Amino acid sequence: MRILLTFKKGCKGFNCIKTVNGKLYDTFQDACYALGLLSDDKEFTDGIIEASRLQSGQMLRVLFIRLLIMNTMHKPANVWKATWKLLVDGILYTRQRILNIPGF
């Protein structure tokens, strides 16, 4: 909604904000896509990749979960497909340590 409000002035209700070229969209996100304000979920993918340089796999998973809870990603499956190798980092090691299984 914040993104839309920077481009649409004088709106007096939620439906006005979600209306683009005479069509009322179900969500603010869909209205942003219709206006071309959001191209895809690349910013989320890039954010996770950038965070992976400094954060552990567990912290990346927490970030991904927070993004899911905030419901800001248009297609979370695409973000998962692009970043899953970073997100699963450390799971095998942690399970082996917890279960006292010798490592590789």
| Model pLDDT, residue 88 | 93
Structural domain boundaries in the chain: 2-35, 42-98
Q: What does the pLDDT look like over 58-70, one tens digit per residue?
A: 999 999 999 999 9
Question: pLDDT per residue over 16-75, tens digit each?
Answer: 889 988 999 998 888 888 887 876 788 899 999 999 999 999 999 999 999 999 988 888
Whether pTM > 0.75 for this model: the answer is no
Sign, CA dihedral 62-78-50-56, equals positive
Whether the predicted pLDDT of 104 surpasses 60? no
Q: Which long-range contacts (CB under 8 A, 24 or more apart) does 74-80 make?
A: 74/29, 74/33, 74/38, 74/40, 74/41, 75/40, 75/41, 76/41, 78/40, 78/41, 78/45, 79/41, 79/44, 79/45, 79/48
